[in-house]
Structure 1
Amino acid sequence: MDAFRQKSSSAIIAVSDIERARGFYGEVLGLESETGTMPGVLVYRTGSTRLVIYSSDVAGTNRANAVVWDCGEDIEAIAAALAARGVTFERYEMEGVRFRDGVHDAGGFRMVWFKDPDGNILHLTSA
């Protein structure tokens, strides 16, 4: 099991329209794609991981977070940049949590949620 624990992992997201996803993940989110991937599959490098996007008939049916990015102290600036690109943020009511400019603040731990065009939930944290 030691060998398994040392292997890299990737996030994978199902989408209904690969070209629409290319526009959202590549242009709106500004992620850089890797070349040489399989036809019908998009791969983006994000930090030290890969984000794999593939076409599926069940796209958008996951009602939980699909991907989480650790944005640290940059979370507000990242949220502002995403908003400027037209991203709409989700607002979740939670006791003791303030919401401003798309950012939920739970006593210094900040969180942002938004959806891709298929409804996949994408999440940013300040952790």
Structure 2
Amino acid sequence: MLKNDNIMAVLPAKDIARAKGFYADVLGLDPPQVMDDENVLYRSGNGTAFLLYETDNAGSAKNTQMGWETTDIDGEVADLRSRGVVFEDYDFPGLKTEGGIASTPVGKAAWFTDTEGNILNLFQRL
């Protein structure tokens, strides 16, 4: 049954080599498991993972595609900024970032894009 299976995010990349560089050099992730020339699997905390696959469709989504839950969003944002990550600024009804971080009724959140145009997120619960 699905309720007992791990969930794995799937992200597109137009240029898998460029994307692998971003996830290694900028985000500091461990080297991925190479599935084949167009598919790599990254592992993260608590058995979570995401598949990065090559496709021309990368960067077309306008929504958050994947996120990490953190206990120190301010520290994570500062660290990623020092590595060259640019955080998005939003000013929508009910959502406004200040210094790249939004405060919501359930926690704090920040968004950035990878080299492939995927919108990624950091989130800290209250």
Q: Which TM-score bucket, shorter chain as reference? A: 0.7 to 0.9
Structure 1 residues 42-121: aligned runs within 5 Å:
42-47=40-45, 48-72=47-71, 74-95=72-93, 99-106=97-104, 109-121=107-119
TM-score by length of 1: 0.87
- Unaligned segments of structure 2, at least 5 residues: none
Hey, what does 2:17 align to over in structure 1? 19
TM-score by length of 2: 0.88
Identity of aligned residues (%): 33
In structure 2, how many angstroms separate the alpha carbons of the residues matched to 1:8 and 1:32?
20
In structure 2, how many angstroms separate the alpha carbons of the residues matched to 1:38 and 1:91?
36
Larger proportion of strand: 2
* Superposed displacement of residue 37, structure 1: 2.4
* Superposed displacement of residue 94, structure 1: 3.6
Q: How many residues align?
A: 124
